[in-house]
Amino acid sequence: MKIIRWGIIGCGDVTEVKSGPGFQLAANSSLVAVMRRNGELAKDYAERHNVPKWYDKAEDLVHDTEVDAVYIATPPGSHKEYTEMVAKAGKPVYVEKPMALNTEECQAMIDVCEEHGVPLYVAYYRRRLPRFLKVKELLDEGAIGDVRFVTMEQTQQLLEKDENGEWPWRVRPEVSGGGLFYDVASHTLDLFDYLLGPIEDVKGYAANQSDSYPAEDSVSGSFQFESGVMGTGVWNFASYKNEDQNRIVGTKGEIVFSTFDEVPVKLMNQFGTEEFHIDRPSPIQQQLIQTIVDELIGKGQSPSTGRSALRTNRVMDKMVQDYYKG
């Protein structure tokens, strides 16, 4: 059986536990090379994770003949550049979320991958976590009847500057695409794309209520899915606590669950209330990585594609567009 040999561009924090070990633990997969612009940090990562090769230039990793596919784990501001580099080398691309700075960059990434005949995957790994597969199962079996509307709410405390007095890259729009809305709300919006299908129309409002960093810290929106399901969402990143909750309401009941918090999935219908306690796996990306490896060796199909991720970027862009135009 073919082994997919992976290289990582940007072996930072997200690769330590969430993703990096997943390439080593997935069946028919191995991690053979990592890259970071700081060569000493790349070497340190390679030694600690038993990775054979390390580089300080992305070009060297991409053109390594022993690297079959590349995972891009840098901030969104460089996703397009590295995707183009990997695609032109004829290798499959797996890129962190959000997919890129904006919808236009997402489309350019899809185009270059199609032009060079390579697949493009995006790290929306919640599409394969057992907790959300349970939500999908409940919907598919009609546990709440026909879905009528959804609500999404998330609050977080305000970020602080780092030890150098700088704002983290996640709230610097030129690097991240927006504020924390792009970083964390993208998970929820992509998850609902998986559960209920694409959002067809969206209207939104964004503001910086805390008057802190340049990016938005509060976003609200209303939307309609292609299926006719209605929805609303509120995300505030200058609140007093960290919490998130999603509701899917149907003609016979509702499902309540969290995108991030370790709480049970709750089903409420005419039969009463049932809770499903489902542990979060570790490494958290391994299940999605496995679907990608399986597709690359011809054994299946991964649920997280460039086109589905583009839809998520498009929804986010529309919700905050007036903020950045102003």
Distance CA 183, CA 189 (A): 11
Q: What is the pLDDT of residue 1?
A: 64
Distance CA 184, CA 288 (A): 18
Q: What is the pLDDT of residue 246?
A: 98
Q: Which of 233, 261, 231, 225 is nearest to 152 (CA)?
A: 233
pLDDT in tens, 105-148: 999 999 999 999 999 999 999 999 999 999 999 999 999 999 99
Phi, psi at 95, each rounded to 5°: -120, 145
One-letter-per-residue 3-state SS of 252-304:
CEEEEECCCCCCCEEEEECCEEEEECCCCCCCCCHHHHHHHHHHHCCCCCCCC
Q: Which of 41, 70, 76 is nearest to 56 (CA)?
A: 41
Contacts of residue 45, defined as CB under 8 A and 6 or more positions apart, other chains included, come to 11, 15, 20, 34, 36, 51, 54
What average pLDDT does the structure give for the chain? 97
Tell me the mean pLDDT per 10 residues along the chain, length 326: 94 96 98 98 98 98 98 98 98 98 98 98 98 98 98 97 94 96 97 98 97 95 98 98 97 98 96 96 97 97 96 98 88
Contacts of residue 11, defined as CB under 8 A and 6 or more positions apart, other chains included, come to 20, 34, 35, 36, 41, 42, 45, 46, 73
Q: What is the pLDDT of residue 188?
A: 98
Q: What is the pLDDT of residue 325?
A: 86
Which DSSP category does 181 fall into? I
Distance CA 165, CA 145 (A): 51
Q: What is the pLDDT of residue 7?
A: 98
- Return the structure tokens found at 44: 């340190």
